[in-house]
Amino acid sequence: MRILVALLLGGIAFAAVPMAAGELKVGDPAPDFKLQATDGKTYSLSDFKGKQAVVVAWFPKAFTRGCTIECKSLAEHGDMIKKYDVTYFMASVDPLEGDQGNKAFAAEHKADFPLLSDPTKETAKAYGVLNEERGFANRWTFYIGKDGKIQAIDKDVATRLETSAQDMAAKLGELHTPARH
């Protein structure tokens, strides 16, 4: 009897384990954040709720080859994204300041959009993008509607770095994001 009770209790405890952060799905509320950005401002997702869609493009590490290609695409072709009523960010767990920080990275690649820094890695964990083994974020892009819910998650960005801006604009169109006025 004790074994049966222990098994039942164990099963109940197992079933009550909350969903891991890495399992965010389309339709889920996007985790709020409050992060410093390369433009000197601090952004919170909640500031956009009910006002504007948001895109957060997580990237692994500033000044690396793939991240440079992605940042350049967004900087050089951002006009395609800016046709939509959306605020978009790149985000990483890199520090904001320093030679290898996001501010220096954004300046070098003439990013005309904010890069968010999450050095505590708390937001990266909440979005399920933190690669614990490597200590940095996976390259995933989250599309968040005006209602604060996740509309799409792109986990294949790494296969199309050169067309990141075009792909982001195309996805915003697919999601029926309103045009900017």
What pLDDT, in 10s, does the model give residues 72-89? 999 999 999 999 999 999
Mean pLDDT to the nearest integer, 144-158 = 95
Look at residue 51 and tell me if it is in a domain.
Answer: yes
175 CB-contact burial (10 Å; exposed 0-12 / middle 13-18 / buried 19+): middle
- Predicted local distance difference test score (pLDDT) of residue 13: 31
What pLDDT, in 10s, does the model give residues 7-66? 333 333 322 233 344 489 999 999 999 999 999 999 999 999 999 999 999 999 999 888
- Predicted local distance difference test score (pLDDT) of residue 64: 87
Asked if pLDDT for residue 141 goes beyond 80, the answer is yes
pTM: 0.85
What percent of the chain clears pLDDT 70, i.e. is strictly above it? 88
Mean pLDDT to the nearest integer, 104-121 = 95
Domain that residue 130 falls in: 20-174
- Which domain CATH number covers 129? 3.40.30.10
Contacts of 31 (CB under 8 A, 6+ apart): 21, 24, 45, 123, 126, 127
Look at residue 5 and tell me if it is in a domain.
Answer: no
Look at residue 179 and tell me if it is in a domain.
Answer: no
What SS3 class is residue 107? helix
More confident residue, 92 or 66: 92
When divided into structural domains, the chain yields a total of 1
- Predicted local distance difference test score (pLDDT) of residue 23: 85
CA 62 centroid distance within chain:
15
Look at residue 1 and tell me if it is in a domain.
Answer: no
Look at residue 111 and tell me if it is in a domain.
Answer: yes
Look at residue 102 and tell me if it is in a domain.
Answer: yes
Look at residue 59 and tell me if it is in a domain.
Answer: yes
**Catalytic positions, please?**
67
Look at residue 7 and tell me if it is in a domain.
Answer: no
Which phi and psi (to 5°) does residue 84 adopt? -100, 155
